[in-house]
Amino acid sequence: MILSIFHRCIHIIHKDSYESIAKAAQNLLKSLTYVYPIDYRLTVENIEEPFTDFLPIRAWGQYVEYDKINVQFHVPNEEEVDFACEFVETFMYLEVQMLNEKCTNMSNDERLRSLTLIHHIAIGCLRMVPRIESKKVKNLVSSVSSCDSKVQAQYFLYAKEPKFKENLRMRLLIDIGNFIDHLIAYHSDDASSIKIALKIYSLSSMYYGIFEQNINKLYCDLNTIKHLYKNKLYNTQQHPRFVIIQRIAIQIELFSLINFRTLTEIDQQVICKLFELSIHRYSEVRRQAQSYLFTMLSRFFLSYQIILDRIIELLTKSDEVDHDEIKGCLYILLGNETIFLPTKHSWTVLEKLWPVIACTKHAIKLSTQNLINCIMEKIYKRFNTVAIIENTNE
């Protein structure tokens, strides 16, 4: 019945309608494929009993010991996994195929509808799609001691292995990558479609169930709740049952976020493509690509080294260069609140980058000069002066 309803509604062009359908598909897939607590009650007592035996009001704000929480989780069973795979193969592959075959003749609204649906289905199902098998990038050098383990824990959470026609991540990486090239070449004015296409393209590499900003929001909400329900009459921390369960749920999500942070050749390919789009001649393409490039650089350890030499090459060219490329490189150096290349903990990076920033010859226009000034001011604010201690032997 669910499939028949989606079949009837999925081709509606009205924006509010297809956005609602896409969100419904995302929520459906998340409910089927995610592991999450399903019982947030204040007490483990049977609240259906008569009030003479148990009065629920007495459980309000009551502290529960960790050994007696009895958390119940939703773990996807075989039927849920099979239905999720069937749903994805029925609708996502259909939309991807339509983009490949009819993208030239599609209107902007039709493209946006199709991309919106693919985007939300991808968010809903990519947690159960394995990472693309690829070699690890080995030529990345760190100037600080690494605390990253060489072994990544991978736990199977499903009753059976999800089976698709192919690795869905690779399919999105190839098809959406080609579609982005087509959009920029022939429909560069369709900024909304380009934005969502770039989202999908980056998701195929870095998304495994949750975004970092969602984790931060969950932590803020948890801290607020802990403060509101804190029992200040005791020295030790005592929290109601639902607060502890919410903390457990956040730890589950955090595990999926911190896994798969080592850089592979596939991830390198995505970063390089986003970088080239970040220095494109169209300002809207540059702006959108830079946003997802920063997300990728903050996701994977030492990934900024991939684009560093290319930035230096463009900024130190002796012949005439494209102003848009220079501007794009400077915006990448300026970064955002999570990534800022000029203050990375690497003497090699500082040795290469700082002289280039100070001696850039191509910052002729006022906009590029202002960008360099912003970069310099940000360096002054963020860079921590390193104490150099010289020990001389007797």
DSSP 283-338: HHHHHHHHHHHHHHHHHSTTTTHHHHHHHHHHHT-SS---HHHHHHHHHHHH--SS
For residue 24, what pLDDT band results from cuts at 50, 70 and 90? very high
Half-sphere exposure of residue 380, counting CA atoms within 13 Å on the CB side? 6
pLDDT in tens, 360-383: 877 778 888 899 999 999 999 888
* Between 42 and 236, the higher pLDDT residue: 42
136-159 burial string, b = 16+ CB within 10 Å, else e?
ebeebeeeeeeeeeeeeeeeeebe
Tokens 């502890």, residue?
244
**Average pLDDT over every residue of 59-68:** 76
Beta-bridged to residue 95, according to DSSP, are none
Q: Compute the distance between CA of residue 18 and CA of residue 20 in angstroms, rounded to an integer.
A: 5
- Domain ranges, ordered by start, for the chain: 2-45+64-132+160-208, 265-382
Distance in angstroms (rounded) separating the CA atoms of residues 62 and 231 = 10
Amino acid, single-letter form, for residue 223:
N
Q: Say yes or no to pLDDT of 204 above 70.
A: yes
Instruction: Give pLDDT tens digits for 212-238.
Output: 888 989 999 998 988 887 777 776 677
pLDDT of res. 340: 93
N residues, the chain = 394
Residue 49, classed as helix, strand or coil, is coil
- pLDDT reading at 255 higher than 90: no
203 has a pLDDT exceeding 80: yes
| Beta bridge partner(s), residue 63 | 240
Give the pTM.
0.87
Q: How many CB atoms lie within 10 A of CB 92?
A: 23
349 to 80, 103, 116, 207, 304: CA distances (angstroms) = 48, 42, 39, 28, 10
